[in-house]
Amino acid sequence: MIMEITALRAQLTDLEEENLNLKIQIRKEVQEEYRELVQALFLTCLRIKEKLDENQFNLIQKVCELIGEVRAEGIANVKQLKKTWGSARPDEETKENTAKESILSKKECLRIKLMAEQEAALLHQQLLAARQALTKAQTDNRKLWRQNDTQAQLLRELEHRVTQDSVTRQQLDIIKTSGMEKLLKDVEQKEQKLQLLTEEAERASKRGQLQQKKMDRDLKQVRAADPDPKGLRSQLSMEQLFPGLSVPLTAFSLLCQF
C-alpha cells in the first residue's frame, strides 16, 4: 500500500512537472507568435505609410507639374491669340481655356483623392486582417490556458482521491486490528473460563470418587453388621446417611452445561 501511494505521488509529481513545462512552452510559443505578428504588422504599416506618402508626394508633384504645364500652355495660347486676333474674342477663348484647365485640375484632384482612398481602404483591410489574426491567437491562448487549468484540476482531484483512499485503508486496517485483538481477548477469556470449569469438574469428580469409595466401604460394613434383603430401603438409608452421593452428578452437569 505504501509503495502504491509512493508510486502515485511520483506519477503526480511527473504530471505536475509536465504541466508546468507545457505552460512554459505554450507561453513561449504565444510570445513568439505575438512578437512575430506585431513585428509583421508594424513593418506592414510602415511600408504602407511610406508608400502612401510617396504616392501622395508624387501625385502632388505631378498635379503641380500638370497645372504648370497647362497654365504655361494657356498663357502661351492667350498670347498667341492676342497677337493673331487682337480683339475681344481671344479673351473669351482664354476664359474657356481657363475653365477647361480648372475642370482638368479638378478631375486630376478627384483621381488623386480616389487613389488615396483606395490605398486607405487597402490599409484598413490589412489592419483588419492583422486584428483578426491577433484575436485568433488570443482565443487559442485562452483555450490552451483552459486546458491547462482542466489538467491541473484533474491532478488535484487525483491527489485528493489518493489521499482519501490512503486514509480509508488506514482506518480499515485499524478497525481490523482492533477487531482481531478483541476477538483474541474474548477467546482467551473463554479458554481461561473453560480451564477453570474443567479444573472444578475434575476436583468435583475426585471428591465424588472418594465419597463413592467411602460410601461403598460403609455400605459393606452395614451389610456385614445387619443384612437387609430390601435393596431399595438400604439404598435410601445409605443416601440418607451419605448425602454427598449426588456431588459427582452435579459436577458432571456443570461440565455438560459449559
DSSP summary character for residue 85: T
The C-alpha cell at 188 is 482467551
Instruction: State how far the Cα of 58 lies from the Cα of 108, in Å rounded to an integer.
Output: 13
User: What does the pLDDT read at residue 244?
Assistant: 47
Q: Is 0.85 topped by the overall pTM?
A: no
- Neighbour-count burial for 88-114, b at 16+ CB within 10 Å, e otherwise: eebeeebeebeeebeeeeeebeeebee
Count of residues in the chain: 258
Instruction: State how far the Cα of 72 lies from the Cα of 129, in Å rounded to an integer.
Output: 47
Instruction: State how far the Cα of 228 lies from the Cα of 234, in Å rounded to an integer.
Output: 7
User: What does the pLDDT read at residue 160?
Assistant: 78
Phi–psi pair at 18, nearest 5 degrees = -65, -40
**Domain limits, the chain:** 2-182
39: left (phi over 0), alpha (psi -120 to 50) or beta: alpha
User: What does the pLDDT read at residue 202?
Assistant: 85
Instruction: State how far the Cα of 194 lies from the Cα of 187, in Å rounded to an integer.
Output: 10
- For residue 53, how many other CB atoms are within 10 A of its CB? 10
pLDDT by residue, tens only, the chain of 258 residues: 567 667 767 777 887 788 788 888 887 887 777 777 778 777 887 888 788 788 778 877 887 787 777 777 777 777 777 777 654 454 555 566 667 777 777 777 777 778 777 877 887 787 787 778 777 777 877 787 787 778 778 878 877 787 787 777 777 777 777 777 788 888 888 888 888 888 888 888 888 888 888 888 877 887 777 555 444 444 444 444 444 444 444 444 444 444
SS3 content of the chain, % helix, strand, coil (to 5): 95, 0, 5
